[in-house]
Amino acid sequence: MRLNVENFARRAGALLLGAVTCLHCDLRRGLAQSPRGGVRADSIVLLPDRIGSVRVCDSLASVGRAFRGRTVKDTLYRSEGTQWPAKRVVLKDGVIDFSSSWADTARIWNMSTTSPSVRSARGFHVGMRLGDVAALDSLDVDLPEGAVVVSLKREGIGAMIDEGAQRRFYAKYDFKGPPTAAMLSPDAVITGRRVQVVCT
C-alpha cells in the first residue's frame, strides 16, 4: 500500500491537535497539587506504551474489558472532514481517552488523560508544576499545530501545560530556532498527559 507522506503527516498533526483539544475540553479547574513521589496504590499507571493494562496498538474494544466497573463511553475525533472512533473512560477526577486513527479505526494510536490519578512510574501527574518535574527529568518542547507539548525524556511521555503558561512561552519564543525547555515557566501546571504512536 502506498502512503502519501505529506497527507499522512498533516493528518497525524491533526490527530495530535484533536487529542490536545480533547484534553482541554474536560479539564477540571482547581485540581489540588500532589507532592512528588511514586505511584500510589489507588493510581492508574501511565508508561510510554500503556495506561493501566491497555497498550498502544491494542484493539479499541479492549478498553471496555480493561476498565470494567467504570463508565466507558464511545466518542469520535474529527478533523478535516474525517472522523475516527475513540473510547473515553470517566474517572472521579478526569478522563482517559483512547483514540484510534483515521487510517486504522480498530486499534489505539493515542492515549491521553486529564486525571491526577493517572501517574507515571515516578509519580508525575496532572496538576504538578513543571519546575517540580524538571528537577527530576529532562524536557523537550514540541509545537504540533501550535500547541505547546512538553516531552519528559526519561519517562517517555508527553504533557500539556496550562493556557497561561502557553501564552508566556509564545511571548518568549521568536521562531528563529528550535523551542527549548528554558522558555517554559517553572510555574506551568501540567493539564494533561499523552502517549502517541504509529502502529505498524
User: What's the gap between Cα 47 and its chain centre?
Assistant: 12
At residue 42, the pLDDT reads 61
Range of the domain at 129: 5-196
At residue 23, the pLDDT reads 36
At residue 67, the pLDDT reads 95
At residue 145, the pLDDT reads 83
Tens of each residue's pLDDT in the chain, 200 residues: 333 434 433 344 433 434 433 333 332 222 233 344 444 446 799 999 999 999 999 999 999 999 999 999 999 999 889 999 999 999 999 999 999 999 999 999 999 999 999 999 889 999 999 999 999 999 999 998 889 999 999 999 999 999 999 999 999 999 999 999 999 999 999 999 888 888 88
**Number of folded domains that form the chain:** 1
Indicate which CATH number applies to the domain containing 186. Answer: 2.60.460.10
At residue 20, the pLDDT reads 37
Cell of 117: 490519578
Place of cell 500532589: 34
**DSSP character string of the chain:** ----HHHHHHHHHHHHHHHHHHHHHTPPTTPPP--S-S--TTPEEEETTEETTEETTSBTTHHHHHTTTSEEEEEEEEETTEEEEEEEEEETTEEEEEE--SS-SSB--EEEE--TTEEETT---TT-BHHHHHTTS-EEEE-GGG--EEEETTTTEEEEE-HHHHHHHHHH--SSS---GGGS-TT-BEEEEEEE----
